[in-house]
Chains A and B, each alone.
Chain A
Amino acid sequence: MSRRLFPALLALLSFTAVPLAPALPTDAEVAARQIALEVAGAFQNDGFKVRDGHWAGRLEKGEGKLIQVNLFAGNEYWFVLGAVAPATKVRIAVFDEAGQPVESEPYEGTVSAAAGFSPGISGPYYVQIALLEGDPAACCMLYSYK
């Protein structure tokens, strides 16, 4: 019996956070997510769990995106941004709920960037992603925690 019931439980967990009828991701967004996952995967050896949810879209030069996240004090987080060509350099930064930049550990690759942050206060924070060099391209932001 449990072989039938437990999948139902697991499947229904998905109800908890779903946007209305999201558009199917483009090939470029899938590729950008893959880049972000590769970066985030490196943190797993240190006990970080990569959240399966992500935000994907298109970055235009000079038009950064701001994404709200809700964090818990005491946890450690890595926010990762992956992008594809023709983007050549991207940036990711974290801000508190008052809009002030927070201290974080930044890492940058050619088309990826990451910011490590451990909040002292639970609540909303904002992740800013931006295209610094190159032309508009698909990107993907995700995060890991422990």
Chain B
Amino acid sequence: MIWFPRPLAGGLAIFCLHATALAEAPALAPAALAAAVRSDEVSIPTPGELMAALDKLGKPDWAGRIREPITTNFSRRAQMALNLGGLIADGYIAVEAEDAQQLKNLGRDILEIAKALGVPKEIRDRGKSLTEKGEEKQWDVLREELEATQNEVKQSLAANQDQPLIDLVTVGGWVRGTEVVSASIAEKYSESGARLLRQPAIAESLAARLDLLPEKLRDDPVVKRVREKLAELARLVAFPRETAPSEASVKALHATAAELTRIISTKEKK
């Protein structure tokens, strides 16, 4: 477990290495854990973090995870937001798959939904340099700049008081991401891969956010179904620390996430 980064020798000359590697602080009380800060900027992992962990288990077949185009002409903001999140997750997959055409297609779909949701034009104008890198297929550079861009834009979106909308996008993205990751792990099952699916705090947090949505959004038919199914998914990703879920459990988890994705992307009939 002990490891040292090479740059410490030079870049971190200001540091003094302490011999005591094990934290000597006393254990934290449950009340302290419950009161801990939960900030999306550091408490919700980025797709890059999960992808880094997945890559250590062998390069996933990202191209094989690209899905058929979904409809984008939703009539209600809640479903638009949920699908925006899913499409954004698809964007990450396209980058990993290094599929420029898919990225263009997703960009078109995302733009369509984003306009319907009233996303400001100035935000869409951010990132021209990233576009150029995408066209030049500088995937490695893109991966690094992607996150910086999205966090710059976060500040702007947060100022619009769109938290309920943002929560739904977050849920849509997490569900689609969980579906894709669980599919990869189920396809080439290993205990170490299955352990990556353990995300109890994230699922709990997202379920709680849906419970706190404004009544109008909470009562949306699709949101209602998502809340029910998300509770089921939350249980499946909250397995014990000591055990890896079985192959059957991973497949069940994937089936639930896939059903959620289907609910989110199916346009409700009036």
User: A residues engaging B (CB < 8 A)?
Assistant: 1-22, 39, 41-46, 48-49, 51-55, 65-76, 78, 93-95, 97-110, 112, 114-116, 118, 120-124, 126, 128, 141-143, 145-146
Q: Which of B102-141 contact A (CB under 8 A)?
A: 103-104, 106-108, 110-111, 114, 119, 123-128, 130-132, 134-135
Indicate if the CB atoms of B163 and A20 lie closer than 8 Å: yes
Indicate if the CB atoms of A108 and B16 lie closer than 8 Å: yes
Q: Mark B151-166, 1 if CB is under 8 A from A, else 0.
A: 1111111110101011
With A22-B158, A70-B45, A145-B49: A106-B201 Cβ-Cβ less than 8 Å: no
Q: Mark B5-33, 1 if CB is under 8 A from A, else 0.
A: 11110111011111011111111111011
Q: How many chain-B residues does the 8 Å CB contact rule pick out?
A: 108
Contact of B241 with A by CB under 8 A: yes
Indicate if the CB atoms of A8 and B110 lie closer than 8 Å: yes
Contact of B53 with A by CB under 8 A: yes
Secondary structure of the B contact surface, majority rule: helix
In the complex, residue of chain A having the shortest beta-carbon distance to the beta carbon of B29: A99
6 contacts between A and B (CB under 8 A): A17-B170, A21-B159, A72-B49, A108-B18, A126-B28, A126-B36
Indicate if the CB atoms of A121 and B198 lie closer than 8 Å: yes
Indicate if the CB atoms of A104 and B21 lie closer than 8 Å: yes
With A128-B28, A146-B52: A42-B8 Cβ-Cβ less than 8 Å: yes
In the complex, A6 Cα to B16 Cα: how many Å? 45
Q: Which residues of A contact B92 (CB under 8 A)?
A: 13
Indicate if the CB atoms of A2 and B104 lie closer than 8 Å: yes
In the complex, A47 Cα to B250 Cα: how many Å? 31
Indicate if the CB atoms of A99 and B57 lie closer than 8 Å: no
Contact of B248 with A by CB under 8 A: no
Indicate if the CB atoms of A102 and B23 lie closer than 8 Å: yes
Question: Which of B32, B45, B88 has most A Cβ within 10 Å?
Answer: B45
Closest-CB distance, A22 to chain B (whole angstroms): 6
